[in-house]
Amino acid sequence: MRVLYDLFFLAFSLFYIPVLLLKGKLHADFPQRFGFLRGMRSAGRRPVWIHAVSVGEVVLAARLSRAVKRRFPEAPVVVSTTTRTGNDMMRRQRARPGNEGIVDDVFYFPLDFSFVVSRVVRELRPRLYVMIETELWPNLLEELRLRGVPVVLANGRISDRSYSSYRRIGAVTRRILRCVDRFCMQSDRDAERIKSLGARPDKVFTTGSMKFDEELPGPGKKPFSKEQLGFEPLDKVLVAGSTHFPEEKELIDVYGDLLNDHGDLRLILAPRHVERSDAVRIYLEKSGLDFLRFSDVIDGKKGGAKVLLVDTIGHLKDLYSLASCVFVGGSLAKKGGQNPIEAARWGKPVIFGPDMSNFREVSGVFLEKGAALQVSDAAGLKAALDGLLRDPGRLKKMGGAALKAIEENSGALERTVARISGYLE
């Protein structure tokens, strides 16, 4: 099977690497993708290896690493990422005051050729491998199993799309899942799905979503003020976070209509992929709305723009602190939705569209607690926002319900650490 998979992966790479060259995405650390880990301090020291694909998983990896270090201070921890964005963010997380030492090394995840992953596992000699969410790489997992390295799936979830894909290759999926020693799943639904795909029931646990476990901000600890962004203190603010095409166009139209009755409403628009900010800028220019880029605000540019276009990485979760209400992107565009917890942790009511399949359980919690509204289309979004903006009492009540939902669902991080601690003692 490994030979066949290597041949398949080779065919993919013959396409993948030229694309990277054309996009200019090859960089000095790219040899790490082929298993060259020179300069890593933790190589050979039996580290805990945590894998996080990109930005969202990196945040969880940092929390998990901190929790592991708290309980096992002598254990080295290394984090691998797939994307350069995730790698850069992990390095920034490590450099933040108070985060010194939470991660010993950061590197790029190896390409899943058998000879590459064999080299990496041989050099690292990990005592434990933890993958954040469902990242199943056959050759790596097989190599870890052959070398007796325990494997844990943390914050595991199985989306509708992934479930269908894994079922189509049932025999392969079952073989891969036999390489995993513990499955820490976000919900009972995810746990049942992974068992139906071939995971042994005695290895599957429902630990909850670690995304609920981000530390809540203290009173008054807002990282930004409205005045810093050129808004007035009493302005209402709609933050549309992690939007996809064509949601930005719909949101700009909805916002323009709402301004007729809510002249003090301001919009912070944050595309899911910052490289799309130029395309969104064109929508804004055609709308005639005054807008500023967030990068310009950071550079000191001021103005009374009604719209702020976020074209930077890592600031959205703090910008949520200014919101009167939040729209969760990827939900009108049928992309499975994005994480509503980052907004709710500030006590903000959230609105999302019909497709929250990637965050089904999380969105269900917020709906059940009265912390969120779900709409079917852009017209429904406009009506919902208009109603909330006319009812400050309801906004406050929904925000309080959001905080309560997070408090009641926290603890997944500690439950996950408890499940893996036996491999580190």
> What is the pLDDT, as a whole number, of residue 13?
60
Does 80 reside within a domain?
A: yes
Q: Are residues 233 and 186 in the same domain?
A: no
Do the Cβ atoms of 252 and 337 come closer than 8 Å?
A: no
Please tell me the distance from the alpha carbon of residue 209 to that of residue 155, in angstroms, as a whole number. Answer: 6
Does 367 reside within a domain?
A: yes
Q: Are residues 211 and 267 in the same domain?
A: no
Residue 224: partners with Cβ closer than 8 Å, 6 or more residues away: 318, 319, 321, 322
Catalytic site positions: 57
Indicate the Cα dihedral angle 128, 62, 76, 151, nearest 10°: 0
> How far, in whole angstroms, is CA 134 from its chain's centroid?
13
Q: Are residues 180 and 299 in the same domain?
A: no
Whether this model's pTM surpasses 0.85: no
Please tell me the distance from the alpha carbon of residue 421 to that of residue 162, in angstroms, as a whole number. Answer: 29
- For 19, the token pair is 């694309």
Q: Are residues 88 and 69 in the same domain?
A: yes
> What is the pLDDT, as a whole number, of residue 221?
56
Q: Are residues 172 and 247 in the same domain?
A: no
Rg (the chain; Cα; Å): 22
The total of structural domains in the chain comes to: 2
| Segments forming the whole domain that contains residue 185 | 28-215+411-423
Signed CA dihedral, 340, 344, 346, 347: sign only:
positive
Q: Are residues 280 and 376 in the same domain?
A: yes
Q: Are residues 95 and 124 in the same domain?
A: yes
Does 221 reside within a domain?
A: no
Does 12 reside within a domain?
A: no
Do the Cβ atoms of 409 and 205 come closer than 8 Å?
A: no
Q: What is the CATH number of the domain that holds 206?
A: 3.40.50.11720
Q: Are residues 206 and 302 in the same domain?
A: no
Q: Are residues 328 and 299 in the same domain?
A: yes
Do the Cβ atoms of 319 and 380 come closer than 8 Å?
A: no
Q: Are residues 232 and 370 in the same domain?
A: yes
**Digit-coded pLDDT (tens) for 84-112:** 888 888 888 787 776 677 899 999 999 88
- Identify the bridge partners of residue 139 per DSSP, sorted by sequence position: none
The full 3-state SS of 405-419, as one line of letters, equals: HHHHHCCHHHHHHHH
- Identify the bridge partners of residue 310 per DSSP, sorted by sequence position: none
Q: What is the CATH number of the domain that holds 301?
A: 3.40.50.2000
Task: Please report how the helices 138-146 and 2-23 are oriented relative to each other, as an axis angle in degrees rounded to 10.
Answer: 130
Average pLDDT over all residues of the chain: 89
> What is the pLDDT, as a whole number, of residue 219?
46
Please tell me the distance from the alpha carbon of residue 139 to that of residue 214, in angstroms, as a whole number. Answer: 33
What DSSP string runs through 111-128? Answer: PS-HHHHHHHHHHH--SE
Does 6 reside within a domain?
A: no
CB atoms within 10 A of CB 1: 12
Per-residue pLDDT of the chain (425 residues; tens, 9 = 90+): 566 666 665 665 666 666 556 655 556 677 888 888 877 888 778 999 999 988 878 989 999 999 999 999 999 999 999 888 888 888 887 877 766 778 999 999 998 888 999 999 999 999 999 999 888 999 999 999 999 999 999 999 998 889 999 999 999 999 999 999 999 999 899 999 999 999 999 999 999 999 888 765 554 556 788 998 989 999 999 999 999 999 999 999 999 999 999 999 999 999 999 999 999 999 999 999 999 999 988 887 777 799 999 999 889 989 999 999 999 999 999 899 998 998 999 999 999 999 998 888 889 999 999 999 999 999 999 999 999 999 999 999 999 999 999 999 999 999 999 999 999 98
CB-facing half-sphere around the CA of 211: CA atoms within 13 A: 25
> How far, in whole angstroms, is CA 112 from its chain's centroid?
23
**Digit-coded pLDDT (tens) for 42-51:** 877 899 999 9
Please tell me the distance from the alpha carbon of residue 147 to that of residue 38, in angstroms, as a whole number. Answer: 22
> What is the pLDDT, as a whole number, of residue 375?
98
Q: Are residues 251 and 346 in the same domain?
A: yes
Secondary-structure percent of the chain, ordered helix, strand, coil, rounded to 5: 50, 15, 35
Q: What angle do CA 13, 52, 213 make, to 5 degrees?
A: 160
Do the Cβ atoms of 94 and 81 come closer than 8 Å?
A: no
Task: Please report how the helices 55-71 and 84-95 are oriented relative to each other, as an axis angle in degrees rounded to 10.
Answer: 40
- For 154, the token pair is 């943390």
Q: Are residues 418 and 380 in the same domain?
A: no
